[in-house]
Amino acid sequence: MTWAIDNIDLLATATREHLGLVVVPIALSLVVSVLVAWLVSRTPRLAAVTTVASALLYTIPSLPLFLIIPVVIGTSLRSPTNIVIALTIYGLALLVPTAISSTRGTATPVVEVATALGYSPKQSFWLVQLPLAGPQLLAALRVVSASTISLATLGSVLGVAGLGRLFTDGFQRGLQEEIISGIVLTVALALTCDVLLVLLGRAALPWTRRSAGERA
C-alpha cells in the first residue's frame, strides 16, 4: 500500500472532513428524536402517525434528497450543509420510531409507581421512561452511526469533501489502492464510532451493566 503511505496527509484530511460531516447529524438525530418522543408521549394517535411518517422518510433516495435540499434552503449545491441536513433526516427516520416505541413501551407498573410517588408526566418521561429506554436508544444510535458514516460518502458525488472523494477520485484515475484506502478508512471510522458509543453507553447507563451481571 505504497499509495496510502505516500498520501497519508490526504487520508488524514479526508477522515477529518468525513468526521465533521457525520458528528452533527448523529447528535442531532438523537436529541431531536428524544424531544419528538416526549412531545407525542401523551397522545397515542399522534405517536402512531409520527412513527409512520418518520419511517417513510427513509424511503427517500439519497441523491435526489441531496439535490432537493439546496433548492429548498437556498444553499449552493456543493455546500456541506446539504449533506448534514440529509443525514440528519435519515437519522431521524431511524431513531424517532425507536424513541417513541421504547419510551412508550416502559412497563405500566413502573409508570404507575412514578405517578404514585408524585412524578408529573414530564418528570416520569425524563426521569423514568427515558432512562429505561436507554439500551434500545443506544442500539438504534449505533445503527444510525454506521448508516450515517456510509451515506456520507455519497457527498463526494456533489463535490463535498470526505472519504467519498477517495472513491470518486480512485475510480476516475484508476487507482485501486485509493479506493481500497477509502473502504478501509470508512469501515475503521464506523467501527471506532461504534466502540465509542458502546463505551459512552456503559458510562451513561451503568444500571444495564449491573443487570447483565445479575443475570450472569
pTM for the whole structure: 0.91
Alpha-carbon gap, residue 157 to 179, rounded angstroms: 15
Alpha-carbon gap, residue 22 to 29, rounded angstroms: 11
Q: According to the model, what pLDDT value does residue 209 have?
A: 66
Q: According to the model, what pLDDT value does residue 2 have?
A: 86
Contact between residue 123 and residue 114 where contact means Cβ atoms under 8 Å apart: yes
Tens of pLDDT, residue by residue, the chain (216 residues): 688 999 999 999 999 999 999 999 999 999 999 999 999 988 999 999 999 999 899 999 998 999 999 999 999 989 999 999 999 999 999 999 999 999 988 767 888 888 888 999 899 999 999 999 999 999 999 999 999 999 999 999 888 989 999 999 999 999 999 999 999 999 999 999 999 999 999 998 887 765 555 544
**Per-domain residue ranges for the chain?**
2-215
- Per-residue b or e along 29-55, where b marks 16 or more CB atoms closer than 10 Å to that residue's CB: bbebbbebbbebbeeeeebeebbeebe
Alpha-carbon gap, residue 3 to 5, rounded angstroms: 5
What is the CATH code for 2-215?
1.10.3720.10
Alpha-carbon gap, residue 69 to 157, rounded angstroms: 15
CB atoms near residue 72 (< 10 Å): 9
Contact between residue 104 and residue 47 where contact means Cβ atoms under 8 Å apart: yes
